[in-house]
Each structure stands twice: as C-alpha cells, then as structure tokens.
Chains A and B, each alone.
Chain A
C-alpha cells in the first residue's frame, strides 16, 4: 500500500469532523472518496497534507508514519494536493503559481522539465503564462490547480472536487486528464461529489457520511450499488 489511514479522528474543537476512518490507496491506482457537503472529505485531505492535526489515529505513507510531520515535509515526501475551491494565487502569474507548486524542490533542471510537461498538457496555460491566474475561466483555473500540484512531482496526487463549478464538457476534460495521469504511473486520491464521473474511473471507492466510511468497494461495484445510486445518482 502506498497510503494507509488507520482509525483517523480529526476534530475542530470539540466537534469531530472525521470519526475514526480506515482506508488505503494502492500505488498507481485511482481511489475516490465520495460524500456530500460536510461529510468530512476535505477535512480528511487537509489532515493527510498536514494542514490539520489528528486527534488520534495514524497515517502511513510508503512505510513511514507521517501524521506528525508539518505540511512542507509531507510535500517533500511526495504528497501534493489541489485544494477545494482551487485556492490559486490569483494575483500571481500562471508561471509563478506553477513555480510555487515546485517550492519544495531545488533541482532547477527538473523543475524546468516539469514546467514544460504541464504546459504541454494544458496549452491554454502555456500561451498565457504571464497573466494573473485570476483572469482565467473556472476550467482553466482547475487545470492550473492540478498543474500546480503536479509541480512538486508527487507520488500521490490528491484532488479535492476538481469538477466543482465546471460545465459537463469541462468536467469530462478534467476526468480525462486524471485518467492520463494514472496511465503515466501517478497515484491519485480523488475527492468528489460527482459520483458518476468519479466512480467510472476509480479503481476503488469509499463513501463518507458524517465522518464515517459507510461503504467501500471497487468503482464499478459502487456505481451499481443501490444506496449509492439513490443518494448520489438520483435513481429511485
């Protein structure tokens, strides 16, 4: 297993947002966490990134326990996230945003190479690389957010609701990109509300409800599960 989460509890003050969950992410796979607003998905990702402390439980990444490490050390270990709502640096240029993604690295040649790779992948970013990120459309900003997360050359890429606020066509495009990344050998933890899009490309899925994991199975099996279909896919 690349990432193993054991009995993780995360709280905001006295309120437990994540109430002791276990899940794991095998290398070179796409794992998705499904859940509605307030289920604890983003809290889980923040805790994995070291942005929130754990109340109890353990996080293991490639055989190393990482739950006490500060955020920048976790990025150095190879976990990057594209946060909820994209959180781009809107007044900084595309290039500066990408360079910030590579903040933890010091290999200038490698950074240059990865920069070219991101620009190859998202051509709209390449042609407007000196413009402030805030001037781009939602879909383009999402591309930039993914590109920025890729710039730290992560082993595990965590995407928090990449389809949020995007048109169906844009969502398809983003999902296609995620698939491509996996075929290049990237491991992806995808947090989504859009169950259809997420499950159809996930190897494994977990359903998160008010801080607990209530279902887990392969992506295909979950797509056919009655409870998932009722709750997320609008079937009755």
Chain B
C-alpha cells in the first residue's frame, strides 16, 4: 500500500521515522491515563496506570509499532538474510490499525455516551485525545516510510521447536482473544474488539511472516491440530461456570460441524447444495425419535454412540435418496432441485403428525423434552467440578461437540488427501475430463452427498440432545443459505476457513442482538464485498486461488515463488 509518492518517501524518510516514533511513544503512554470519566461506557477506562482490557489492546498495538520502528533502524539480519520482516509495511499497518481502533473507540464513546445521557464526547478524558493524537502523528510519519521489500523470513531455515513454539503461541493468542471477546457483554465493547481483531490481522499480514507460518503449519500439522483442540478444550475454563456464553459457543460448533460436512459437497466435489440443512434435520429427528423422551415414537434405550451412528446413517440414506435423482443435473439446476428437496424434507416432517401421515414427528410441535445424555453416570444435564473448573450443562455438550467435530475434521482431511478427494476435485474442475480419465463421476458425486450427509446427521444427533427439542421449523431454507455462506465466506475446501466463516456468521448475530433485523442486509453486503475483493474466501485453498485470479499475473508469480520456496524447504534434498 502506497499513499504518498516514492520520491517524497525517499526525501522525507528519515524525519518521518522520528515523527512516527514520537507518535508511537505517545500511543504507548496514552493508556496510562484515564480515557473516560465513567465506567459505564465500554469497559472501565477511568483509572490511571491501570488500563482496562480494551486499553491494553491499544497498548499492544502501540508497543508493536514502537518496537518495529526502533528495530528496523538497526537493519536486523538473520544469518545471511536481510529484511526478514517487512518492517516499514508493518509500521504503516500498525499505525493505521491503531488509528482505526482508537477512532472506533471515540465513535463508541460519542454514540453510547449520548445514548446513556453521559454527554457523548464530553465524557472523554484527555487520555483518549492523547491516544488519538499519538495515532494520527504515528500514521502521518509512517506513510512517508519507504515501502518494504518482500519479507524473506519464509526462506530462513528454522528448527522444528521454534516453529512449534510459534504455532502454540498463535493458538494461545487466538484462545485468549476468543475468550476476551466472548466475555465482553456490552455490544459496543464487542464491536470495538472486532475492530481490533481485524486491525491485528492486517498488521500480521503486513509483517510478511504469514509465509513462514504456513511452512511451519505444513511441517507441524499434527502439532497445530492438537494445540487447537487443547485450546478449544480449555475454553470452558475461561467462562467461570457461566452457561450463557457456552450456549452461544456450542451453537457455533453445531453450525461449524454442519458447514464442514457441506464443505465436502460444495468445497471438494463442487456440487451446489441449497437444502443441506435437511441432513442436519434428518439426524436430529432420528436421534429424537429414538430418545427416551415421552414424546419419542420409537423410544429405545440405545447407547449414545450407537444413536450417533444410526442418525448419521439415516441422514446418509436420505442423501442417497435425494442424490440419485438430482445428481443427474448440475450447476444452477442442482441448486434449485436440492433447495426443493430441503423444503420437501421440512414439510414431510410437519406432515408426519398422525393425521396427514403416520405419527412419527408429532408434526409442527416436534419432539420436546428429550432427556439429557448420561455417560456411565456422567449426567450431561448437571454442572460438574473438574480441577476446580465448573463445567456447566452447555459446556458438557460443547465438549461432546468438540469430539464430534474432531471426527468430522479427521474424515474431511483424510478424504481431501485421498484418491477419492482427488477425484472430487477433478470433477469440480472439469467433469468431462475427469470422466475421460476413468473417474466414476456419478458414484463419486453420490458418495460426496452421502458422506456430507452422514457428518451432518452425526452433528444433528448431538443437537437434538443439546436443544432438548427438535421441531421442523429449525430446519428452514434460510439455515441452508447461512451454511452455504459460511463455506463460501470462509474459503471453500478448507477446514480453517469454514471454521472461521461459521464463527463469524453464528457468533456475530448472537453477540450483536440489536442488529438482528438487519443481519440479512449486512451479511448480504458482506458477501458482495467478499466476492468483489476476495472471491476465494478468507482462507484460500491453494488449489482454488488460481481459479479466481487467472488473469492476475502478480498473484501467479507470487504463488509460483511461494510454491517453489515451499517445496524446497519441505524437500531439502530432492526436487530441483
């Protein structure tokens, strides 16, 4: 990103750095003095030398900025490599990010302050203005810094333990931020925190360490997975026995698990399914009908793992049933036909009420009062104390969902890198060519449908117990749309992307209840913006990135160079 011309940058580069350092120093100092005179706006920002959470986040940005500005003056080298990190770009991103963050806080103080009758911006203390001024000065200086050459960190060989340590640190950071963000109860605080997260991602990208991190990830995939799951398992401990947030997070997991199943169908095989929620429904109804609820129609006392398998199987059979006629059409036609089948499922569930058909689901009332799970005396309905940590009812189901999602991810990852996964990707890219190569396209597409449905059915079984009731109106068309949006927004064909997409689409509406009426509008706009600027989704599948930017020469070069370095580092002796 270049804002002022290169000539100006080279002429004023040196004084600009000093200006930026002064600005950064002011930013570092600002959180030490009060920002707002009352504790009723955002979190408690009224104390001196005792910064609140949101102030600490600003302090972090400021320290990174100052550190980068000062370090880069000494021309740091790692071995024979110069410019390991894109210092100047990082400084620019950090100062602009800090400015954006403080602007969001000023805006929040103005809006919330006047809403609560605290005088709007009159509630601000000098500290807020000092922080704003520091950010402006730092930004003004940073735009005059010369553009960094491409960071070379990815080429520096690093020992495995450094890579693992870095990955664990990243996971810990994500866990910390997630816990911090979820625990913010005020809407405005949560929004400000979201601004920080976006800014932090941009700063991180600007440093140019992403390339190195992706190599570290590729080398230590298992370690990263373990660390991520460990972090997810610790998460309930950050909630202090409160059920409210765990409810939201468990919902996010149900949504994410289903989206991962859809990712096989859409992301790998490239089949547009607009009625996918029906498979979650098939699983949920199966589990409900088999449960010990007084309203269950086939109540049998089966162990839960068996119920999960049966639910998955029923959903998969349903997938075969829908798939065998519909998979003869493709593209838009497939989307319309699956949409119709999704609705047919819901209406069928309404009609299986004893008057229009056999009584299986109690029609639109559904099956309520599903009793909690009981694993060898471990009652999922009660809170438990483990190592002094309270695991609430929702946390129990959250942990169970984590196990199910681990299974879903394991299935997905293995399929993705198998012969079958290759066949799916080939069908997605060029169905006729795949057929000519001997890929049995119809069977494979059917397998994608059934496999995706099986995973959704498993998640549905847990959903039935967690929600304690299953009704047809939980499985409306809109939910299918949201699932598809999560996959597209996050990045088709990737695990991490879909998890992020699902979190954004489910967590935001839960935390930001006030914009419930506008969420369709906002998500619609978000998708349009994404399709314009980053059609491959937040996390790009390497096999897909080229598909969307085949005319972008610069990206092609970048991908090529990345692949070559990547390859050389992964196979030091072979290849070239």
- Does the CB pair A89–B438 fall under 8 Å? no
Contact of A51 with B563 in the complex, beta carbons under 8 Å: no
Task: Check if A71 sits within 8 Å of B429, measured CB to CB.
Answer: no
B-to-A contact residues, CB < 8 Å = 419, 422-423, 425-426, 429-430, 432-441, 543-547, 550, 556, 559-560, 563-564, 567, 575-576
Q: Mark A68-80, 1 if CB is under 8 A from B, else 0.
A: 0011101110001
A90 at the interface (CB under 8 A from B): yes
In the complex, A182→B560 CA distance in Å?
Answer: 35
Contacts of A22 in B (CB 8 A): none
Q: Which residues of A contact B545 (CB under 8 A)?
A: 91
Complex A-B, nearest 10 residue pairs according to Cβ-Cβ distance, in ascending order: A75-B438, A104-B438, A87-B433, A72-B440, A91-B543, A71-B435, A89-B429, A72-B438, A130-B567, A103-B438
- B563 CB contacts on chain A under 8 angstroms: 130-132
As a 0/1 sequence over residues 107 to 129 of chain A, the CB contacts with chain B under 8 angstroms (1 = contact) are 00000000000000000000101
Do A83 and B440 have beta carbons less than 8 Å apart? no
CB distance B544 to A91 under 8 Å?
yes
Within the complex, which residue of B437, B556, B567 is in contact with A101, where a contact is CB–CB below 8 Å? B437
29 contacts between A and B (CB under 8 A): A51-B435, A72-B435, A72-B439, A72-B441, A74-B438, A75-B436, A75-B437, A76-B438, A80-B438, A87-B430, A87-B433, A89-B426, A89-B434, A91-B545, A91-B546, A92-B429, A92-B543, A99-B419, A100-B423, A101-B437, A103-B419, A103-B423, A103-B426, A103-B438, A104-B437, A130-B567, A132-B546, A135-B560, A148-B437
- Verify B550–A134 contact, CB threshold 8 A: yes
Looking at chain B's contact residues, the main secondary structure is: helix
Q: Are B437 and A127 in contact (CB under 8 A)?
A: no
Query: Would A89 and B436 be within 8 Å (CB), given that A96-B422, A103-B423, A127-B576 are in contact?
Result: no
A81 within 8 A of B: yes
Q: Among A83, A127, A131, point to the contact of B433 (Cβ < 8 A).
A: A83
Please give 13 more A-B residue pairs, beta carbons under 8 A apart, in addition to A81-B436, A91-B543, A100-B422.
A89-B429, A90-B546, A91-B544, A91-B547, A92-B429, A92-B543, A99-B422, A100-B426, A103-B422, A103-B438, A130-B575, A132-B546, A134-B546
Asked if A152 is an interface residue, CB under 8 A from chain B, the answer is yes
Q: Does A44 contact B (CB under 8 A)?
A: no
How many cross-chain pairs have Cβ atoms below 8 Å apart between A and B?
88
Closest Cβ of chain A: how far from B442's Cβ, in Å?
8
The chain B residue with its CB closest to the CB of A154 is B438
> Which residue of chain A has the shortest Cβ distance to B545 in the bound complex?
A91
Query: Contact between A70 and B425 (Cβ–Cβ < 8 Å)?
Result: no
Contacts A91-B544, A92-B425 hold; do A70 and B434 have CB atoms under 8 A apart?
Answer: no
Contact A51–B436 (Cβ < 8 Å): yes
Q: Which of chain B's residues have a CB closer than 8 A to the CB of A127? A: 575-576
Report which of A90, A103, A134 forms a contact with B439, defined as CB distance below 8 A. Answer: A103
* A29 interface contact, C-beta 8 A: no
Bound form: Cα–Cα A152–B438 in Å: 8
Return the chain A residue nearest B432 by Cβ.
Answer: A51
Q: Which residues of B contact A76 (CB under 8 A)?
A: 438
How far, in whole Å, are A103 and B434 apart by their CA atoms in the complex?
9
Q: Closest CB-CB distance, A204 to chain B, in whole Å?
A: 24
